[in-house]
Amino acid sequence: MRFVVAIFSLLALTVFLSWLNYRLLARLFIFWRGRFVRRAYLLLTAAAALVMVFGWPRRPWTAEPGQELLIFLIYGALVWLCGQLVLIVLQPLFYAVDRWDRRRARGKETAPAEPGMSRRAFISGALAAVPLVAFVPGAKGVYSAQAELAVVRHSVVVSGLPAGLDGFRIGQVSDTHVGPYFDLTRLETVCARLRAEKPDLMVMTGDFVDDLSQIAPAVERLAALQADVPHGVYFCWGNHEYFRDPRLVEATLRAGGIKILKNASAEIVPGERPLYLLGVDYPPAESARRSLNIPDERRQECFAAANRGVPAGAVRVLIAHHPDFLIDGFAGQVPLTLAGHSHGGQVVIGGRPLVSLHRYVRGLYRQDDLWGYVSSGAGHWFPFRLGCPPEISVFTLRA
């Protein structure tokens, strides 16, 4: 039911934005009132709507032979939708430029008429074509989401780090959302890139699989990494695990040898100052599932439970899905906290996320000698990214 609602929501949004954008552009520019332009615009909108209604329910996301054309059409529909979103944001700019051009033209009404095409007509024609540029970032955003993959590397200085842990490497993958926009081939690419980084430990910070029909083969690919990761692969819960079937997810992960830390800890490297990995839950309370933030008390309970039994003096690394756990990591003097969930905002302009719903949204944060990192995620549930490519992260501990 949720899938059907999502499809028709996208359909309604596409049709409404296309209609609104066309009406606004037709009021500003004669070019957009032409019969050919109007028909072409309506045809592209209708095609995008038809693809959403009849293409999406078939869920052709496994790139099987014969599905390539349908997948191409679906991404084309997404480019059209994303272009409409960019276009509606730019409408005030088009309006302001048009007003300026009209005032400038009125100031020259007494000037003699120019032969042929006037400068005014040329400028107006050029301005009328500018809105087409809005579809460039639309296409770039879809391409970036589906084709790019950044490897982000950080060296993190940890006060008092034992010599034996100097150079220890931790690989982080977050928010793959295996399903409609992140298939098994893409997961294999992520695993191969991470394997090439030769991490000593790998952590997954939630929102692993959205399409449960893909969970078994997805876990197989994740489990295959363990042969190349000396200290294994660890997982902590995200909200999408609770949206799907947490029992099935847990059983499949455990069957694949993936270790789950749910308000718990694990000794990774023994020693006088051992390395411990702490993992917290994404609290499944209804209030947490329906809201963007976890209540402070619930979050602190999870953090306290994960710390229980960890020896004093241990070097701790905390993994969480929700970035607000960086608050607890800093307060609890944890040298490194890794989180995800935000997708980095997915649209970043001038180094800042366009939408910031959390205190910590993207990248590396520091408080005194403590570090926290919010991954932009390797995947997404909506395939559009600008200035914020999908990523995997690698952290090297330094004394």
Burial class (CB in 10 A: 0-12, 13-18, 19+), 248: middle
Unique residue bearing structure tokens 């150079």: 167
Question: How many helices (H) and strands (E) are present in the chain, helices listed first?
Answer: 12, 14
When mean pLDDT is compared over 20-24, 178-182, 332-336, the highest value belongs to: 332-336
User: What is residue 262's predicted lDDT score, i.e. its pLDDT?
Assistant: 95
Average pLDDT over residues 131-142: 84
Residue 237: band (very low, low, confident or very high) from pLDDT cuts 50, 70, 90: very high
Average pLDDT over residues 267-274: 94
Query: Does position 97 have pLDDT exceeding 50, yes or no?
Result: yes
Q: How do the residues of the chain divide into helix, strand and coil, expressed in percent and rounded to 5?
A: 50, 20, 30
Helix (H) or strand (E) holding 366: strand 363-367
Average pLDDT over residues 99-116: 62
- Which is more confident, 290 or 67? 67
Check residue 213 and report its DSSP letter. G
Cβ neighbours around 392 below 10 Å, total: 26
CA angle 251, 257, 389 (to 5 degrees): 90
Average pLDDT over residues 3-24: 79
- Lowest-pLDDT choice from 57-71, 193-207, 311-325: 57-71
User: What is residue 369's predicted lDDT score, i.e. its pLDDT?
Assistant: 93
User: What is residue 243's predicted lDDT score, i.e. its pLDDT?
Assistant: 86
User: What is residue 285's predicted lDDT score, i.e. its pLDDT?
Assistant: 52
Amino acid (1-letter code) at residue 361: V
Amino acid (1-letter code) at residue 238: G
- End-to-end Cα separation, the chain, in angstroms: 52
Residue 110: band (very low, low, confident or very high) from pLDDT cuts 50, 70, 90: low
Give backbone dihedrals phi and psi of 203, rounded to 5 degrees, phi first: -125, 145
SS3 390: coil
Q: How far apart are CA 4 and CA 294, in angstroms?
A: 28
- Which is more confident, 209 or 98? 209
328-382 pLDDT, tens digit per residue, is 999 999 999 999 999 999 999 888 888 788 899 999 999 999 999 999 999 998 8
What domains can you pick out in the chain, each with its CATH number?
A: 2-142 (no CATH), 151-398 (3.60.21.10)
145-171 pLDDT, tens digit per residue, is 989 999 999 999 999 899 999 999 999
Question: Cα 148 to the chain's mean position, in Å?
Answer: 12
Q: How far apart are CA 287 and CA 343, in angstroms?
A: 21
User: What is residue 366's predicted lDDT score, i.e. its pLDDT?
Assistant: 96
CB under 8 Å to 312, separation ≥6 — which residues? none
Query: Does position 260 have pLDDT exceeding 50, yes or no?
Result: yes
User: Ramachandran region of residue 300, left (φ > 0), alpha (ψ -120 to 50) or beta?
Assistant: alpha
User: What is residue 377's predicted lDDT score, i.e. its pLDDT?
Assistant: 96
Amino acid (1-letter code) at residue 140: K
- Lowest-pLDDT choice from 74-78, 131-135, 221-225: 131-135
Q: How far apart are CA 136 and CA 68, in angstroms?
A: 22
Cβ neighbours around 275 below 10 Å, total: 25
Which tokens belong to 285? Answer: 């309370």
Cβ atoms 388, 184 nearer than 8 A:
no
Cβ atoms 252, 220 nearer than 8 A:
no
User: What is residue 132's predicted lDDT score, i.e. its pLDDT?
Assistant: 76
